[in-house]
Structure 1
Amino acid sequence: MNFNKVILYYGFAPISDPQAVKLWQKTLCESLNIKGRILISPHGINGTLGGNMDDVKKYIKNTRQYPGFKKIDFKWSEGTGQDFPKLKIKVKDELVAFGNPGEIKVDENGVIGGGIHLRPEEVNKLVEERGDEVFFFDGRNAFEAKIGKFKNAVVPNVTTSNDFVKEIESGKYDHLKDKPVVTYCTGGIRCEILSVVMKNRGFNEVYQVKGGIVRYGNTFGDDGLWEGSLYTFDDRLTIDFSDHTKLIGECAHCNGPTKEFRNCQKAECHQLVLLCDACYESHLDRPCKHDREIKRNRELIG
Structure 2
Amino acid sequence: MKAYQVLLYYVYVPIENPEEYRDEHHLFCIEHNLLGRIIVSPEGLNGTVSGLAADCQAYMDYLHADPRFKKTAFKIDESEGHTFKKLHVRVKDEIVNSDLPVNPIVRTGKHLEPADFKQLLNDPDVVLVDMRSNYEHSLGKFKGAITFDMENLRELPAHVQEIEHLKDRKIVTYCTGGIKCEKASAYLLEKGFENVYQLHGGIIRYGIEEGGENFDGKCYVFDNRIAVEVNKVNPEIISSCHVCGTPSDRMVNCANAACNIHVPICENCGVTLEGACSDACKNHPDKRAYDGTGNYAIHSNHYNPLQGFRSLKKKEKV
The TM-score bracket by the shorter chain reads: 0.7 to 0.9
CA RMSD of aligned residues (A): 2.1
Matched, 1:157 2:149: yes
How far is 1:43 from its partner? Answer: 0.8
Partner of residue 93, structure 2: 93
How far is 1:7 from its partner? Answer: 0.3
Partner of residue 208, structure 2: 218
Cα distance change on mapping 1:257 and 1:216 into 2, 3 Å? same
**Cα distance in structure 2, aligned partners of 1:53 and 1:244:** 30
**Cα distance in structure 1, aligned partners of 2:34 and 2:168:** 45
Q: State TM-score, norm by structure 1.
A: 0.87
Where does structure 1 lack aligned partners over 5 or more consecutive residues? 289-294
How far is 1:165 from its partner? Answer: 2.5
More relative contact order in 1 or in 2 (CA 8 Å, sep 6+)?
A: 1
Q: Which amino acid aligns with 1:235?
A: N
Partner of residue 41, structure 2: 41
**Cα distance in structure 2, aligned partners of 1:124 and 1:265:** 39
Report SS of the residue matched to 1:215.
helix
Matched, 1:175 2:165: yes
Partner of residue 66, structure 1: 66
Q: How does 1:112-191 map to 2 (within 5 A)?
A: 112-128=106-122, 130-131=123-124, 133-168=125-160, 171-191=161-181
How far is 1:95 from its partner? Answer: 0.9
Report SS of the residue matched to 2:96.
coil
**Cα distance in structure 2, aligned partners of 1:40 and 1:297:** 22
Tell whether the 8 Å contact from 2:110 to 2:196 is kept in structure 1 after alignment: yes
Comparing 49-58 with 264-273, greater Cα deviation is found at: 264-273
How far is 1:227 from its partner? Answer: 2.1
Tell whether the 8 Å contact from 1:11 to 1:45 is kept in structure 2 after alignment: yes
Report SS of the residue matched to 1:172.
helix
How far is 1:68 from its partner? Answer: 1.6
Tell whether the 8 Å contact from 2:185 to 2:196 is kept in structure 1 after alignment: yes
Q: Which amino acid aligns with 1:167?
A: H
Tell whether the 8 Å contact from 2:135 to 2:262 is kept in structure 1 after alignment: no
Deviation sequence 1:36-67 (CA, Å, 0-9, x none): 01001111000000000001001110111221
Partner of residue 82, structure 2: 82
Q: Which amino acid aligns with 1:226?
A: F
Tell whether the 8 Å contact from 2:139 to 2:249 is kept in structure 1 after alignment: yes
**Cα distance in structure 2, aligned partners of 1:231 and 1:180:** 26
Tell whether the 8 Å contact from 1:271 to 1:296 is kept in structure 2 after alignment: no
**Cα distance in structure 2, aligned partners of 1:268 and 1:63:** 40
Equivalent residues, number = 281
**Cα distance in structure 1, aligned partners of 2:214 and 2:107:** 27
Partner of residue 198, structure 1: 188
Tell whether the 8 Å contact from 1:98 to 1:165 is kept in structure 2 after alignment: no
Q: Which amino acid aligns with 1:220?
A: E
Tell whether the 8 Å contact from 2:168 to 2:195 is kept in structure 1 after alignment: yes
Tell whether the 8 Å contact from 2:114 to 2:209 is kept in structure 1 after alignment: yes
Where does structure 2 lack aligned partners over 5 or more consecutive residues? 282-294, 299-318
Partner of residue 309, structure 2: none
Q: State TM-score, norm by structure 2.
A: 0.83
Deviation sequence 1:71-116 (CA, Å, 0-9, x none): 110000122323111110111111111113xx2335xxxx221000
Report SS of the residue matched to 1:74.
strand
Partner of residue 286, structure 1: 279
Tell whether the 8 Å contact from 1:233 to 1:296 is kept in structure 2 after alignment: no
How far is 1:137 from its partner? Answer: 0.5
Q: Which amino acid aligns with 2:53?
A: M
